[in-house]
Amino acid sequence: MSVHKENKEFKKITTNVLLAMKQRGEKISMLTAYDFSMATILDDAGIDILLVGDSASNVMAGHETTLPITLDQMIYHAASVIRAVKRCLVVVDLPFGSYQGNSKEALNSAIRIMKEAGAHSIKLEGGEEVIDSVKRIISAGVPVMGHLGLTPQSIYKFGTYTVRAKEEAEADQLIANAKLLEGAGCFAIVLEKIPAALGQRVAEEIKIPIIGIGAGGGVDGQVLVMHDMLGITKEFSPRFLRRYLNLYEEILDATKKYITDVKSKDFPNENEQY
Ligand code: KIV
């Protein structure tokens, strides 16, 4: 039986199912989604987790960073995804400015996402500096996924999107933060753009699932931004990205053909009208 079919044995993916997958060594698949139609396809394909990422700020809204997207906009995207899914777990990013520095505000933001979008869980970036928010949200019964390594909401602090935690001090701090998040009750952690050896070490030392994006093959699962993986974005080519389609070119060609058919009056033909 294929891994895909094994996954389909579960009616719904829950945080407990993800933990069991880690324990038996089954890798976890995760992609981003921001709308109903794409989420329907990805869920039908058997994806384990859909992340309504604040990368919507980049790929859906065209901003340079993830900072501008608002809580209302995240709720709109999340509700669209939730309406589509039957099986996978949906994680929704808390956007920049909706949780940092104020655990009460963090809880309110998480509750809005759960109530108004019908989300299953939330994700937020950071370790020690957001631990009070993490604990407060979990104490209200909301599952939390952590995010360490390259955390795009802090891009102006880092100054660059290069690999994080290459030096021992930053690697030690990342491990300490992963343990803090685990201790606070997070159900999983995303590690973004760190050395593969460090990713594997965290996955071995931590009991909850570790999902990597540019964190090597030694972690418990992988996540990619759907637009990158399908080749809709064409400028973004980091080493960790595997493109499964070249949709930019395919959509471009299809659109050019459509334009030609309209201009030449080939479309609509007799069978395509009433
Ligand atoms: O917003 C996002 O797409 C993410 C992934 C890169 C993990 O956080």
pLDDT given for residue 252 in this prediction: 98
pLDDT band per the 50, 70, 90 thresholds, residue 3:
very low
Q: Which domain holds residue 273?
A: 247-274
Same-domain check for residues 231 and 256: no
HSE-CB of 253 using CA atoms within 13 angstroms:
5
Q: What's 32's domain CATH number? A: 3.20.20.60
Same-domain check for residues 176 and 257: no
Query: What are 159's two structure tokens?
Result: 């100054």
pLDDT band per the 50, 70, 90 thresholds, residue 1:
very low
pLDDT given for residue 4 in this prediction: 52
Same-domain check for residues 186 and 251: no
pLDDT given for residue 196 in this prediction: 98
Query: Could you tell me the distance, in angstroms and rounded to a whole number, from the CA of residue 256 to the centre of ligand 1?
Result: 32
Same-domain check for residues 38 and 147: yes
Number of domains in the chain: 2
Same-domain check for residues 267 and 175: no
Q: Please give the Cα distance from 120 to 90 (Å, whole number).
A: 5
Q: Please give the Cα distance from 247 to 108 (Å, whole number).
A: 38
Q: What is the residue with the minimal CA distance to atom 8 of ligand 1?
A: 53
Average pLDDT value over all residues in the chain: 96
Taking only the tens place, the pLDDT of each residue in 151-185 is 999 999 999 999 999 999 999 999 999 999 999 99
Q: What is the residue with the minimal CA distance to atom 4 of ligand 1?
A: 53
pLDDT given for residue 11 in this prediction: 81
Taking only the tens place, the pLDDT of each residue in 10-64 is 589 999 999 999 999 999 999 999 999 999 999 999 999 999 999 999 999 999 9
pLDDT given for residue 269 in this prediction: 98
pLDDT given for residue 235 in this prediction: 87
pLDDT band per the 50, 70, 90 thresholds, residue 9:
low
Q: Is the CB of 213 under 6 A from ligand 1?
A: yes
Q: Is the CB of 32 under 6 A from ligand 1?
A: yes
Same-domain check for residues 104 and 149: yes
Is the bond leading into 68 cis (omega within 30 degrees of zero)?
no
Same-domain check for residues 9 and 137: yes
Q: Is the CB of 92 under 6 A from ligand 1?
A: no
Identify whether the C-beta of residue 45 lies closer than 8 Å to the C-beta of residue 80.
Answer: no
126: which DSSP letter?
A: B
Query: Could you tell me the distance, in angstroms and rounded to a whole number, from the CA of residue 172 to the centre of ligand 1?
Result: 23
Same-domain check for residues 47 and 157: yes
Query: Could you tell me the distance, in angstroms and rounded to a whole number, from the CA of residue 55 to the centre of ligand 1?
Result: 6
Locate the DSSP E strands across 107-217: 121-123, 144-149, 188-192, 210-213
Q: Which residues are catalytic?
A: 192
Same-domain check for residues 238 and 107: yes
Cα radius of gyration rounded to whole Å, the chain = 20
Q: Is the CB of 7 under 6 A from ligand 1?
A: no
For 42, counting Cβ atoms within 10 Å of its Cβ (0-12 exposed, 13-18 middle, 19+ buried), the class is buried
Identify whether the C-beta of residue 60 lies closer than 8 Å to the C-beta of residue 77.
Answer: yes
Q: What is the residue with the minimal CA distance to atom 2 of ligand 1?
A: 53
Distance from chain centroid for Cα 247: 20
Which phi and psi (to 5°) does residue 5 adopt?
A: -70, -35
Distance from chain centroid for Cα 98: 18
Q: Is the CB of 223 under 6 A from ligand 1?
A: yes
Identify whether the C-beta of residue 92 lies closer than 8 Å to the C-beta of residue 52.
Answer: yes
Same-domain check for residues 107 and 150: yes
- Pairing of the two strands 210-213 and 49-52: unpaired
Same-domain check for residues 99 and 224: yes
Residue whose CB lies within 8 A of the most ligand 1 atoms, among 49, 50, 55, 194, for a mutation test: 55
Same-domain check for residues 140 and 256: no
Ligand 1: which atom is nearest the Cα of residue 123?
A: 8
Ligand 1: which atom is nearest the Cα of residue 66?
A: 1
Query: What is the pTM assigned to this prediction?
Result: 0.95
pLDDT given for residue 68 in this prediction: 98
